[in-house]
Structures are given as structure tokens and as C-alpha cells.
Chain A
Amino acid sequence: MITAFFNSPIKRKLMIIMLLTSGVVIFVTAAAFIVNETLTFRREIRNEMLTLAAIVSNNTSAAIMFNDQKAALETLSGLSSDPRILAVHIVNNDGAVFAEYIYRVAEGARGQSGARDFGKPSVPYKIALAEADSEAGSFWNWPMRLTVAEKIIVDGREIGKVVIQANLEGLIEKLKRFFFLAAFVMLVVSLLAYMMSTKLQSLISVPIMNLAQTMKDVSQKKNYSIRSEKTSNDEIGVLIDGFNEMLQEIEERDETLKQRQDHLQRLAHFDSLTSLPNRALYCDRLSQTLLKAVREKQQVAVLFVDLDHFKDINDTLGHRTGDLLLKDVAVRLQKIIRASDTVARMGGDEFTIFQQDVKDSRNAGLVAKKIVESLSQPYLVEGREIFITASVGITMFPDDGATVDELLRNADTAMYHAKDSGKDMFKFFTQEMNVSVHNRLTLQNSLRRALERDEFILYYQPKMDIASRQVTSVEALLRWLHPQEGMILPGRFIPQAEETGLIIPIGEWVLRTACQQIKEWQAKGHPSIRVAVNVSASQFKRQNFAETVTGILEETGISPLFLELELTESAIMQNIDSSVEILNSLKAMGIQISIDDFGTGYSSLSYLRRFPIDYIKIDRSFIVNFTSNSDDRAIVTAIIAMARSLGLKIIAEGVETEEQLAILSELGCHEMQGYLYSKPLPPSLLFKFLRVNSPPGG
């Protein structure tokens, strides 16, 4: 029962509580009323009977005095109209009945009075007396009749008594009526209470049920933006507020989660620097596009874009500048392509594009041309003007490949061909290119074996002092004597060596061989001459470069004074602090330092002040046309002037004509190197040359 109550809905609980409360209140009220009514009724009837007895006493006193029973009975007969009066006895002081009135129901009469056998107490009178004695009975043990007695007094003397017995059945009747009324009222009130409680309980149960419903909605729909409406400021209001706050928090948490997911999504599919799609997204989109292209028999063009010499920008101007430049490149690419095309960054300086529904491959060519032209326009990065070009390879689906991988690989191959063909251009993929790729791979393999098979040799090219026309030193130059292809120049295999990492052992081999050569010449009694060795950037970057040099010098036992190292600008600009340190230690040993290919990099001359440099070699590209090209001449003039002011010696490379030499001499260039004086020579031929042009002090 109690469990059932606790398990019932709040609505029912409230109703039960209200009904119980009203029921108890009515019940207690009715009970109190009944008790009060009973007591009042008894008191009133008693008072009434006492009054009546007093009247009877007064009215019959004379009759007793004058022994006039008739008169007494007349008086008593007046009482017959009151049905409550059961009996009236007038007795003298002896207890003998003088007159009596007895209500007789059985005989149907309203009442009958008589004076039969007066003198001895009648039976009803005896009962009456007994009852009168037990008048102070307990509340629960009422006699159904009430007896009162009144003395009859004349002139201060008691001459008898009036004893009245009253019927209390009226009370029963009255209580019965009251009971039925109370029951009726209770019914009506219960009904009212039921009706009111049905309405009133909703004040409490409806907000709670609404809250519960909202909770269900939220959990079913997983919609945390739903809110429960607050209707009051009581505890339920507090509950609803708390619930809503909780939802708010969940919603905010969801939002944060969603943002993070989006962010992760972006990271997974987009390049963080340029905001372009990354390789994964690009490949996904391309594969979708290919499926569609197969269905609709369309062509798709895949373009592979690679910036030329981008590495130099990173190396000389820093990664920050490089990154900003890549962003500019991305912006330019996006401007060129159609909305339906996708441009992505594959990593580094590689970008890929695909175009859907290409009617003719020439259209792809036009786009590639636009890209090449657009990317070669000057860039302004952090107030600095930068020039860069791009090479583009194009493949067409379905002609050049069926899969994403194949298309990209072939586009890459085509791009390499564009680079090999001089850069700053685009190339369509052809099947022959794969053959050359094959060749390239073959070259890499044979390059790997070249060191083991001792296929490399060094040539030496003398450098001449312009003023004295004497040999100052020689530059060691690498040649590959390929068993099948004959002599191969560094331009063909050095990029491969750089790519494969073979440049490190090859570089070391060159250094060691050059030193051994010096040693050999010294042993043969040839005049000592300084040899310049080229050091690649990756070689110089290695932590133990200085130790390697020291080791080789000790190994061969030659003086560092006969060694000169040639480094490119980009090699020493990558990490200026460590470069300065390494160069200082080399310089301290007595090794000469020169900057190779000067003018092709992007560094400013002022930086050079920090390095312990002896020579600057002006790149051959400035010398080739500088007699006719005033720009080149201006650059050469400026470099020489500045180097001289810094106290550096200048060597011009690639000098081929007397005219060039004359101008260089005029500008104050210290030394020269080139075919005008001597081409690179094998060691055996070098000394014949040197004997003719005897070196200073030789």
C-alpha cells in the first residue's frame, strides 16, 4: 500500500495527500461538532427540563397545599404537547406520588395523566429516582433518558418535589440527521477537493512532468539546444534552471568538440600554411573525379608544379620568407584555375592541380602556360623583391594513366623533364619520358658503383693573377669516366648525387684525392701549388666537416696552406653562426676560403663581413655577356668595388676573351679563371702547362 503510494506518479500523490487532508479535516470537524452538539443538546434539554420543573413546581405548589389533585393534573396535562417528556411526578416529602403524567406511546395517545393509587411511589417513579441518582454518568454511558428534579417550596418550606424524565431520542434523531448531513457534506467536499486537487496538483506536477518530457526529448533527439520553460521561482524553478544550465554546458561542450573535430578535419585534409587541400584530400577528390570522368567519358588534366631553386630561397632568406612566398604562390595558382578545379600542396614547393572535363589537352597547356607566366612575376615578401620560376608537368586522363598514382607519377616525370629542359616551362608527359626516367635510375645505380670502381678522376684548372699573369692556384674539378658513356661532366650527375646523398662520400673522395695529389706532386719535386676544392652545401652542413678536413690533412700529411675550400653562398648562409664558427676554425689552420658562384644567391654583401673569407668568385653567368650587357657589367662593377672595400680578393670565372680580361683588369679584378688562360687539365698535363707558365716563387 505504502509502496504503491511511493511508486505512484507525483500527480496522484498530490491528489491523495490533498484528499486525505481534506477528509481528515472534515472528519475531525464533524466529530468535534457531534460531541459539541451532543453536549449542548443535553445541557439545553436539561436546562429546559429544569425550567419546566420549576414552572411545574410553582404552579402545583398551591394544589398540593390545598390537596387539589385535579388542579395539579391540569397543570401537568399541559406538558403533553412536548413529546420529549416521558414522565412527570409530583411527590410529597414522603416520596408518595401526589400527581403524575406518563407519556404513553403504545396507547397511541399523546399523553395521559392520572392520579391512580397515589400514596405509594409508582414504578416509573422509582426508575426515575434511580436515574436521577446516576445523573452524573460518564459521557459514553448515557441513559437514553434524562431525569431532573425540582423542590416545591412554599414560604421557605419544602413541601414536595417535581421529577421530570425526558426522552433523549430527539438527540439521536438530531445526531442521525447531522450524521447524514456530515456524510453528505463530506461527499461534496471530497468531490470538490478531488476536482480542485485535479486542477491544483497541476501547479506542481505539470512543471515537473514538462521537465521530465524535455529530458526525454533531449535524450531521444540528442538535441541539446532544447530548453525547459521556467514558470516559477520555487524549487522546481531552481531545478529547471539547473537543468537548462546543464544543457547549456553540454551544448557548449559539443560545440567545442565539433570545432576541434573540424579543426582536426582541416588538419587532416588541408595544408596549414596555404590552406589548400593536402595530398590526401587531393587524391580523394581526384579519384572521385576520375570515376565521374570514366562514366561521362571526359578527360582530366593533372598538373604538377614545382618551383625552381626554391631551396635556395629557404637556405639564403630563411624559412619564414620561403613560407610567405609559398603562400603567395598558392594565391596565384588559385586565381588561375576554375572553381571546379582543385589545387593542392603536396609538400615542400610542390603543387598539384587537376582540371575536370578538359575538352582538349591544349587547354591544359594554356593553363600551364598561364601558371608558368604568373609564377615568374616578381614577388614582394616582407618588403623584398624575389624572383622565382616554376616548372610544370602535365598528364592527361585517360591517355597518360588510369589511376591517381600513375597520373601523379607521370606528371612528376614530365615536370622533371621541364626542369631538365631549362626550367621555367611546362611539358606534356610522353611515354618516352619514362625511358629517360629509367635512364636516370640507371645513372643513380652506376653512380653508386662509380666510387667503388674508382671511375672518378680530378681535373685541375689554373687561376691566373691578372696583373702578373702568373698562376696562383688550381681548382680541382670532378670528372666521371663512365665505362660505356665515356667522360661525364658534373652537371649531369651532381644533382643525382645530391638527391641520393652520394654527394657526401664523393665530396670526401675529391678532398682526399686532391690532398694526395698535392702530396704526390711534392714528393715528385714539383713546385708546390695551392689546390681549391669545391665543398657542397650538404657536405658543409655535416657536423664533423672541420674534423673531416683536419683528418684528411693529417692523413696525407700536407700543409693546410696548400688547401683552398670553395663554398657557395647558400651553403654558408643556411646557419650563419655555425658557419662562422667552422670557417674560423678552418681559417685558423691556414686554409683559404672562397665564395663560389657569387652573385647568383640572394645574400647581401654586408653579411660577408662576418665570414673569414679570402676570395670571391664572380659567377660565370655575369662574365659571359658583361661586355655587351650593361646590367651585368654594373653588377660586376658593384661586386668588385664592394669586395675591394671589404679587403677581399676577386676572381672572375669563365673568362674567354681578351676583351673581358681587359675590362676586368680595368675594374680592379685580381684574378681570372677560364679558357682564355687554360681549360681544366688532367694532372699529367697540368705540370707541362705549369712549367711553361712558371708559378710565382716556383
Chain B
Amino acid sequence: MISKRLIVFLIVLALLAAGPLQLSATNSASREYTLKAVFLYNIALFVEWPEGAFTSEQSPLTICVLGNNPFGEALDSLSRQTVKNRKLAVRQINRVEEAAGCQILFVSATEKMRLDDILTAVRNWNVLTISDLDNFAYAGGIVQLITLEDKIRFEINLKSAQRAKLKISSKLLKLARDIIE
């Protein structure tokens, strides 16, 4: 009962925030990833990238999904949104090298075995790494999404964020279940 209400709420929230963006639970992507897609977008609102992270004023905020894309069409609908006056762009990549030019890098569960290599590769890039892999934050990822009692929470590795020269809003930090320093 509660969960059903929550879904409705989130959908409404997403609609309010995203305007014409349609988030449908009926799509091929799972309900969980629909929410996680919104999370990606929401987190982007509370993070500041350094100057050099974008090639120009007009360049979009690019979300790159490394590995198998679990979001389905949920991410496509995000691409029409804007974050801090930047358009959102979504790219699916298979190799970490392609992540250059991405501001957000979502590491798919399929990349679990190559996680250390991936994190090592992007450690000095101005890129926000997000994943729902276990121990992602401990491994050096910046935001790890956790699902608890039907709710999605996150942990943040502040050290990694600092290395990536990203400023994470205290509001976001306040909501984090754990912060690794």
C-alpha cells in the first residue's frame, strides 16, 4: 500500500520536475531502474563540476552508461531535461576510455569484474561515478546507490569526489547513508 503511494508520488514528482518527461513503470525497464534514472538526474542537481569539465558553455551534461544499460528507455526520457542550464545527453559506452567528455559515469553491474580498472582510469577525471555495485564507494567510486526496504539510498565517497574536483552539496551529503572519507 505504501509502496504504491510512493510510486505515484515519485511519478508525480518526476513529472513536476521534468515537465513533459514521461516516466512509465510499464516500460521494459524495471521499476527500480526507473527510480534510479531519476536519482541520476536528481544527484546531478546537487553536484558542481569544475570549469574544465565542460568543453564550452553550451556543451551538454553527458551521462555515460558503461556496460549493459539497465535503464532501458528511462534514460532516454531524461535526455530532454536540463540541469543548470545544460541539456542532458545520454550515451551508452562499452569501454572506459570512451568516458572522456562524460560528466556522469554510471557503471553498470556487468562491469563488476573490471571495476578497479575503470575507477583507476577515471580517478583523475572530472567525472561523477555512480553505480549500484556493492562496495562501489569503498572501491573508490563516488556515489553508490543502495536499495533498502524499497527505498533507494546512497553512500558517497567524499575523497574520490574531491579527487575528481567535484563539489557535492551538503544537502546531498546530509541524505547520504554513509560518507567515506
Contact = CB atoms under 8 A, between A and B. Distances in A.
Contact of B171 (A59, A96, A119, A159): A59
A119 B9 contact: yes
Interface in B27-74: 39, 42, 45-46
A66 B83 contact: no
Nearest to A62: B171
B12 interface: yes
Given A62-B174, A62-B175, A92-B12, A67 B17 contact: no
B10 A67 contact: yes
Contacts of A63: 171, 175
Nearest to B39: A66
A61 B171 contact: yes
Contacts of B175: 62-63, 66, 68, 71
B139 interface: no
Interface string B12-35: 110011000000000000000000
B162 interface: no
A93 B17 CA distance: 10
Given A62-B171, A119-B5, A119-B9, A157 B17 contact: yes
Given A71-B174, A155-B84, A65 B45 contact: yes
A94 interface: yes
User: Of residues A66, A154, A155, A159, which shows the largest number of chain B Cβ atoms within 10 Å of its Cβ?
Assistant: A66
Contacts of B83: 155
B114 interface: no
B6 interface: yes
Contacts of B5: 119
Contacts of A93: 16
Nearest to A98: B9
B145 to A, nearest CB: 11
Interface in B59-108: 83-84
Interface string A63-76: 11111100100000
Interface in A139-154: 154
Nearest to A96: B9
Interface in A429-454: none
A249 to B, nearest CB: 100
A294 to B, nearest CB: 140
Nearest to A157: B17
A62 B169 contact: yes
Contacts of A59: 171, 174
A208 to B, nearest CB: 81
Interface string A47-84: 00000000000110111111110010000000000000
Interface of A is mostly: mixed
Contact of B13 (A58, A61, A68, A159): A159
A159 B17 contact: yes
B9 A65 contact: no
A435 to B, nearest CB: 163
Contact of B16 (A58, A66, A92): A92
Contacts of A64: 13
A157 B85 CA distance: 12
Nearest to B45: A155
A92 B171 contact: no
Contacts, number: 48
Contacts of A61: 171
A159 B41 CA distance: 15
A71 B5 CA distance: 19
A92 B39 CA distance: 18
B76 to A, nearest CB: 21
Nearest to A67: B10
B171 A94 contact: no
Contacts of B6: 67
User: Of residues A67, A93, A154, A157, which shows the largest number of chain B Cβ atoms within 10 Å of its Cβ?
Assistant: A67
A155 B169 CA distance: 13
B172 interface: yes
Nearest to B8: A119
A159 B16 contact: yes
B147 to A, nearest CB: 13
Contacts of B13: 64-65, 67, 92, 159
B16 A154 contact: no
Interface string B141-181: 00000000001000000000000000001011011000000
Contact of B172 (A62, A119, A157): A62
B113 to A, nearest CB: 30
Contacts of B9: 67, 92, 96, 119
Contacts of A154: 17, 45
A157 B82 CA distance: 11
B169 to A, nearest CB: 7
Contacts of B12: 92, 94
A159 B19 CA distance: 11
A67 B12 CA distance: 12
B2 to A, nearest CB: 10
User: Of residues A65, A68, A92, A96, which shows the largest number of chain B Cβ atoms within 10 Å of its Cβ?
Assistant: A65
Nearest to B42: A65
A157 B10 CA distance: 16
A67 B172 contact: no
B47 to A, nearest CB: 11
Nearest to A59: B171
Contacts of A94: 12
Contacts of B171: 58-59, 61-63
A64 to B, nearest CB: 8
A89 to B, nearest CB: 16
A78 to B, nearest CB: 12
A58 B46 CA distance: 12
B108 to A, nearest CB: 22
Contact of B151 (A62, A67, A96, A159): A67
Contacts of B39: 66
3 tightest Cβ-Cβ pairs between the two chains A and B = A62-B171, A65-B42, A93-B16
Interface of A: 58-59, 61-68, 71, 92-94, 96, 119, 154-155, 157, 159
Given A65-B17, A67-B10, 19 more contacts: A61-B171, A62-B169, A62-B175, A63-B175, A65-B13, A65-B42, A65-B45, A66-B42, A66-B175, A67-B6, A71-B175, A92-B12, A94-B12, A96-B9, A119-B5, A119-B9, A154-B17, A155-B83, A159-B17
30 contacts: A58-B171, A59-B171, A62-B46, A62-B169, A62-B172, A62-B174, A63-B171, A63-B175, A65-B17, A65-B46, A66-B42, A66-B175, A67-B9, A67-B10, A67-B151, A68-B175, A71-B174, A71-B175, A92-B12, A92-B16, A93-B16, A94-B12, A119-B5, A119-B9, A155-B45, A155-B83, A157-B16, A157-B17, A159-B13, A159-B16
